Amino acid sequence: MLHTIIKRNSYQDSVNLMLLTNYISALEGVMQASIMMGTPANKDIMCNSGLYTDELEPAGANDMCIVIDTETHSGLDDILVAVDSFLSDQSVNSSQSSTESVRSWERALKENPHANLAIISVPGQYAAAEADKALDYGLHAFIFSDNVPVEEELSLKRKAHDKGLLVMGPDCGTGVISGVPLAFANRVKAGNIGIVGASGTGIQEVTTLIDRMGGGISHAIGTGGRDLSEGVGAITMLDSIRGLAHNEQTEVIVIISKPPSETVREKVVSQLQGLPKPVVTLFLGEKPSGHEGNVYEAYTLEEAAMIAIDLAKGAAVQPLYSMPIDVPKTALNPGQTSIQGLYAGGTLAAEAAMLIADALQLKDGLIHEAGYVLRSNGHVIVDLGDDMYTQGKPHPMIDPATRIQHIEKAAQDPATAVILFDVVLGYGGHDDVAGVLAPAIEKAAAKAKTEGRNLYFVAALCGTHQDPQSYAEQKRKLEQAGVVVKESNNQAVRTVLAMMQLVLEDVPKTHRPAAKTVPEMFSASAAIEALLAGKPSVINVGLRKFTESITASGAPAIQYDWRPIAGGSVKMQHILNQLKDYRFTS
């Protein structure tokens, strides 16, 4: 029985609503629940999930839509009380925050006149317009929002390039500027290694490994996953490389990306070979055989970090980076033949799939279908951060509920031998993900035991000892639950491969001079050099929790509590923006 409640003019950000949905869904008597703002896209999601009702039709983008599927009418009043209580707690937390908030761009710029960076985390259909405003105000834009059309991304990045600004994203999960964490990022020590990466967890893995190996980060610039596509042409990556090349704090540059098109790759590598600084490249999915000139090619995220550390110390780069793996003894039934990888981080999932595909000598390698990045010979790697798993739900790094469901399902399969997963710490993520996952892991292992099977769990723990979650405590909780914990994704995957009697061969790399002459160097823009010269001054447009990590790092930030204008109509907003531009230029 579906019940619909519309709360007029009660805008909440998407993370709060997703957490509220999970909270209400767990209440007794609730079979299913969906709580979203009344945008057309959200109504489509409700329709596809079987939770659409006619009462939703007049709801607008500023109206909170609550649809609850219950067995009876009884208990509905208690559920609504729980909704109001949750929202009241969020309101109290916001009012107690020391962060100043505003409700317009004009006010934000008045309160923070020296702002040079805007973080955009509004719903995807509105993100490009807000980023465009940021560029007009002379701010670099960090677009956390996803579901932005590639045509709008290209337009924004071309405009930013012409203005000497950076557009990081869309779908940019991670950044670190002068020690200030942006979005999902870790607290890392300062140092001389600068990173440009297309991904979120790829940057997190490399920066945290460098930190724990004793090195430090100058900057980590995210570009978004499509930047190195043929259609976008690496606009942000190339401008970021120029910025790091002229940044005094940066002595070594690391590039992280899935394989780009051949023409884009050639353009990027050509610029790298013209730099006066050494560079480490990781094009995930490629297995390089050697280094060329000042460009050192890595196979895994861990190898990229290890090469960068040696270069930062002035040490020689080794032909082979490998380490002994402590492999636990296993006792598996003959039918237990599969690895089940349940990842929150997309790049970590892709790296795991790459290594397993290499060990299996698969010709096809990685796939991208229905949330899977590998599905072969019974082995599965799932990216639980994929859009198909996060529509209307929190990202698994924020809320582990989806991953727990997949752990339960994988554990029931008698073919499952090992469940492989990542635990990513840092700002933006869950406060105690190990503490939430541990009971589910213990329960799954115990149930398998009663069925005559030993079920093994191996985790890659990504984080630093400075992160808001305690690295040591998270590791202890996982190990107490019987999990084999490794300090890199590479080590975790290789451990699982060894447990399954699979071999992954590494080949020593050669080093040859650069084949091409050094191209003409381009200078970085004054605005990019200024951004990298010190802590950013931020206007945070959207998710409030991103502001908290910025101010905790000593950087100035204003919280812009964004709301859709014009009833949420993108077309009407476009018209209003054109009228505003006309007024300013007339």
Specify the pTM: 0.89
Whole-number pLDDT of residue 86: 81
Which pLDDT band holds residue 30 (cuts at 50, 70, 90)? confident
**Is domain 2-96 classified as CATH 3.40.50?**
no
Whole-number pLDDT of residue 583: 43
Let me know: does 294 contact 518? Beta carbons within 8 Å.
Answer: no
Which positions ≥6 away from 424 have C-beta within 8 Å? 184, 201, 204, 344, 345, 348, 397, 433, 462, 463
Which positions ≥6 away from 218 have C-beta within 8 Å? 178, 190, 191, 192, 193, 194, 244, 247, 249, 250, 532
Whole-number pLDDT of residue 572: 53
Which pLDDT band holds residue 575 (cuts at 50, 70, 90)? low
- Asked which of 255-264, 332-341, 465-474 is least confident by mean pLDDT, the reply is 255-264
Let me know: does 4 contact 56? Beta carbons within 8 Å.
Answer: yes
**By three-state DSSP, how is residue 3 classified?**
strand
Whole-number pLDDT of residue 582: 47
Tokens of 481: 């639950």
Q: How far apart are alpha carbons 579 and 573 in whole angstroms?
A: 10
Strand partners, 253: 194, 279
Question: pLDDT > 90: what percent of the chain?
Answer: 68
* Residue of 490 and 573 predicted with greater confidence: 490
Average pLDDT on 229-256 reads: 97
Whole-number pLDDT of residue 569: 57
- The torsion angles phi and psi of 27, rounded to 5 degrees, stand at -75, 150
Mean pLDDT of the chain: 90
- Asked which of 326-330, 566-570, 580-584 is least confident by mean pLDDT, the reply is 580-584
Nearest alpha-carbon partner for 283 in 270, 305, 300, 306? 300
Residue length, the chain? 586
**Quick one: how far is CA 355 from the chain centroid?**
21
Model confidence at 517: pLDDT above 70: no
Tokens of 396: 């698994």
Would 2-96 and 338-499 be classified into the same CATH topology? no
Average pLDDT on 414-428 reads: 97
* Residue of 192 and 2 predicted with greater confidence: 192
* Fold of the domain spanning 102-320+524-567: Rossmann fold (3.40.50)
Q: How far apart are alpha carbons 174 and 199 in whole angstroms?
A: 7
pLDDT digits (tens, 9 = 90+) for 520-539: 567 899 999 999 999 999 99
Q: How far apart are alpha carbons 245 and 522 in whole angstroms?
A: 10
Which pLDDT band holds residue 144 (cuts at 50, 70, 90)? very high
Whole-number pLDDT of residue 568: 55
Whole-number pLDDT of residue 146: 87
pLDDT digits (tens, 9 = 90+) for 356-395: 999 998 866 566 677 899 999 899 999 998 878 877 677 8
Q: Where are the domains of the chain?
A: 2-96, 102-320+524-567, 338-499
How are beta strands 279-283 and 295-297 bridged, if at all? parallel
Model confidence at 561: pLDDT above 60: yes
**Is domain 338-499 classified as CATH 3.90.1510.10?**
no
